Amino acid sequence: MATYKKADARAWARENLVGCSAVTIPSFSADLKRLNERGIRHDIEHTVGLGYSSTLLCSELAISAQENAQFTAWARESGKDLILFFHAAFGTLAENIEAVKLAENAGADIVLLSYPPQFWPTNEQEIYDYTKSFCDATDLAVMLFPIPLWGFERVHPAGMSLELVRRLLADCPNIAAIKSEQGFPLPAGICEMYHHFRDQVVISCPIEGDAIPLMSLMKLQFSGTSNTAWMSDYYPKAFELARTGRFEEAMELYWKVNPARSANGAAAQSYAGGTGVLNRTMWKYQDWLAGFNGGPLRAPAMRVPDRFMKSLRQGLVASGLPVTSDPDSAFMIGRHPC
């Protein structure tokens, strides 16, 4: 259960959403019939050890609401002080409401609100209704997530217009943060949300390559949720340096890891060009390179071409970041197979 009252969600977020959030993809048994408890606990413990203050418990794959609750419970036990994001990425509004109630009881702290692929709004009222219905159904704080993945640009060029966001903030008091990616890969969304709403809710720039430079101009306290733990403790360190006024030192680290950043950008183009689906297998492989569990994911799951495995590994080597010496063939087995 949440440690705060619903009416206090924004004050809670302002105080507690500080630092960086990782993404934790669940691990499964070799036969894919059940969750891999030791693999999940290993990943949560490793996330804490790298200096992350929170993590998204990724559900954008083949996992049931009940399994997600178990995933949350193990994460809560293994990361007692870690802020846990429930990922509202199930197939329907009703499923997301069912799953968030289970996750609340299992120890989730906050929600990242996604929208199902089958949700096909043709006007802003439909987006408003879905969002408010979900927010009304949970006692948890909610992070609003405008991004082109949802296809809302058919309704407004920004996907979620300034007017829609303003209306949602007025009517949904538990919307406590905005993961601002309108117009991605351009920075327009983060700039507009920061300009208008930074005094109301926490504004997150989840894109590591943008956040550090923008912190020379913006007072950002939180970044996430995003695929950065594969660069080990670099991002929590660099973000904290920039957040506390040591921008030059942050940029020294920023440029040092540019080979890894470039490799990630090139690999992401293989799926980001129009599928609207993130390659979670690739994200899990990247984390495995940095010491996380790895292991198989349930179908349907995207594949990781060998050429990207090689370039991602070499990006870490060229950046001087930790990288396993285990062969790529060990990735699908995982560090804690069951």
Contact 86, 103 (CB under 8 A): yes
Strand ordering across the sheet containing 83-88: 202-204, 175-179, 141-144, 110-113, 83-88, 54-57, 19-24, 222-223
Chain Cα centroid distance, residue 141: 15
Per-residue confidence (pLDDT) for residue 275, from 0 to 100: 62
Per-residue confidence (pLDDT) for residue 189, from 0 to 100: 96
Contact 116, 94 (CB under 8 A): no
Beta bridge partners, 20, equal 223
3-state secondary structure 212-256: HHHCCCCCCCEECCCCCHHHCCHHHHHHHHHHCCCHHHHHHHHHH
Q: What is the pTM of this model?
A: 0.96
- Does position 272 have pLDDT exceeding 90, yes or no? no
Q: How many helices (H) and strands (E) does the chain have?
A: 13, 8
Record the tokens describing residue 189, joined without a space: 């969304």
Per-residue confidence (pLDDT) for residue 276, from 0 to 100: 67
For the ranges 3-7, 129-133, 273-277, 303-307, which has the lowest average pLDDT?
273-277
Q: How many Å apart are CA 45 and CA 36, to the nearest integer? A: 14
Closest CA to 285 of 320, 317, 333: 333
Pair type for strands 110-113 and 141-144: parallel
Contact 24, 44 (CB under 8 A): yes
Query: How does DSSP classify residue 200?
Result: T
Per-residue confidence (pLDDT) for residue 1, from 0 to 100: 72
pLDDT in tens, 286-305: 999 999 999 999 999 999 99
> What is the SS3 assignment for 22?
strand
Q: How many Å apart are CA 187 and CA 59, to the nearest integer? A: 27
Q: Which amino acid, 203? A: I
Beta bridge partners, 113, equal 88
Chain Cα centroid distance, residue 200: 22
Q: Which amino acid, 103? A: A
CA distances from 273 to 149, 183, 266 (A): 11, 14, 11
pLDDT in tens, 42-70: 999 999 999 999 999 999 999 999 999 99
CA distances from 67 to 45, 62, 63, 84, 138 (A): 20, 10, 6, 16, 19
pLDDT in tens, 213-258: 999 999 999 999 999 999 999 999 999 999 999 999 999 999 999 9
